[in-house]
Amino acid sequence: MTERADSRSGRGGALPEIRLPVGTLAIGDLHVDVERPDVVEGFTRFLAAQHGRPCLIVLGDLFEYWIGKGQANSAGGTRCLAALSELAGSGTRILVVPGNRDFLLGASDARRGGFTLLADGFVGVAQDRSRTLVLHGDELCTRDTSYQRLRRVVRSGPVRWLARTLPTAASSAIAMRLREASTRAVARKPEASKRPQRDEALRRSSAANARTLLTGHVHEFRDDDRDGLRWLCVDAFGHAPLGPAAATAEEASASSRDAFELHLGGWRVRSSSRAGRPPGRTSRTDGPVNPEAMLVPAMTLIAIDGPSGVGKSTAARLLARRLDLFFLDTGAMYRAVARAVLERGADPHDEAACLEVTRGLHLAFEPDGTLLVDGEPAGPAIRTERVTRHVSPVSAHGSVRELVVARQREIAAEMARATGGAVAEGRDTTTVVFPNADLKVFLTASAMERARRRAAELGIPDEVGRILDDICRRDEHDSTRAHSPLRQADDAVRVETDGLTAEQVVERLAFLARSGPFDGADAGSPRSGGGTSSDAVRGRER
């Protein structure tokens, strides 16, 4: 799988740097034995539950052993690679750092599984630009000199070539013998020699300018913050032995610490079995139960912000439909005002005239999200190019915005009480209209990507250049206006949509909705600072 534009290899052998979105999950040491159907089944079920997650990191030893064709072409191996490919198809980026059991994973395996293979690890860059060095962890065991020598040999080009050319039966037989020999060798070594060394961890992290180190390998949980380095180590995936405090296997799994999840404030420990799943809510419909809606906390308000042409309305509408929530198109309300201003012959730059028009409008919504202007559906007339060009100057007037924002909050409160929650979108929805929303998302894409989408939507693909100029001008106007300028809220989850289909964007938003919040509060609990979702709908300060 080709590395995307947000990762790059540095000079002089520097590790690639890869942006890590909020919601990224890191797991390691899965040791999936492709010859065991029960293990393969459990692994594929886990992957199915991750659809829509923005990124999944595997910190090595994804497979119990992997020599080449023998594993890739087996029934279990084929099924695992297919499940990984399906996850990638949902929009999830999969980053695999090979371990000491599966270092012979190759480019053909990565293509079949839809994942990016990072042989020596990488540096992850979070939304707040903090840096995490991501390694398997065995390279830190520097006291085990014999292992380090062997590690260099078996990862060399000739050995990799030999593994690719071996017949299937031979590669499987060699894998079994290597596994048995490795188990005996590890058992004979002193415990101290097998431990990752902190001095090596500090050296490598400093070289990568990383304040956090994320590893696996030792099958032992660690969250150690000292000497200027936070060192995180996941327990072996799915490792949850029953103990006195765990009455059932499910309870033991829920208490395991075999995953880390990236939040706005940094990495938080998670269990792979319950990676961020909140308590469910009651369906608001009398018809068939929507299983996904049941996973979203009650009285949810989801606010989606972002620049012009990024697809906020489409994504919010589809998300609301998918989660059985009310869709509040705040941008459509400003479009309706702009259209009314133009129809009445008022000057879009005259604040007093625009305010007078706004006061004379009655804006409301049908339960299905249809905007009503003075009791009539707004329809496509509010989305013409002429209206689009004049929305920014009309919506920039402070008095107009205050009037419309007040109405937006009224509508959201009414609909949330009636339907159990709402999805609202607009260019200041997360910062001004609903600053206390349960989930705040800043949806974005490059200006060129947005221009292509808008041109396709309008059926004028040959006019991308002109539309690009319009979008750039509007971005400048929206981000520099005095009242409610476009900006990303500090606690909003940034979602980059370049290269994603509308379905993949919605998949990701649905994942964030059912798995959040990602602001440091525990899933299913009130957002930090107290208050309730009804407070969020009303937009009150807490």
Percent of residues in the chain assigned helix, strand, coil, to nearest 5: 45, 15, 40
Decide if 250 contacts 241 (C-beta within 8 A).
no
Cα 77 from Cα 473, distance rounded (Å)? 51
Cis (ω within 30 of 0) for the bond into 288? no
DSSP sequence for 195-228 = SPPHHHHHHHHHHTT-SEEEE-SSS--EEEEETT
CA atoms within 13 A on the CB side of 451: 17
Q: What angle do CA 454, 460, 462 make, to 5 degrees?
A: 105
192: left (phi over 0), alpha (psi -120 to 50) or beta: alpha
CA atoms within 13 A on the CB side of 430: 23
- Distances in Å between the Cα of 394 and the Cα atoms of 131, 345, 382, 397, 403 are 41, 13, 13, 6, 12
Q: Is 142 helix (H, G, I), strand (E, B) or coil?
A: coil
Look up residue 342 and give its two tokens. Answer: 């133009």
Q: Which DSSP symbol is given to 63?
A: B
Decide if 336 contacts 431 (C-beta within 8 A).
no
DSSP sequence for 283-310 = -S-SSS--TTGGGSPTTEEEEEE--TTS
State phi, psi for 364 to the nearest 5 degrees. -150, 175
Q: Is 398 helix (H, G, I), strand (E, B) or coil?
A: helix
- Distances in Å between the Cα of 303 and the Cα atoms of 3, 271, 333, 492 are 31, 28, 15, 9
540 alpha-carbon distance from chain centroid: 28
Cα 28 from Cα 46, distance rounded (Å)? 13
Look up residue 108 and give its two tokens. Answer: 């053909």
Which residues line the annotated binding site for ATP?
306-314
Decide if 229 contacts 151 (C-beta within 8 A).
no
Which residues line the annotated binding site?
306-314
State phi, psi for 33 to the nearest 5 degrees. -90, 110
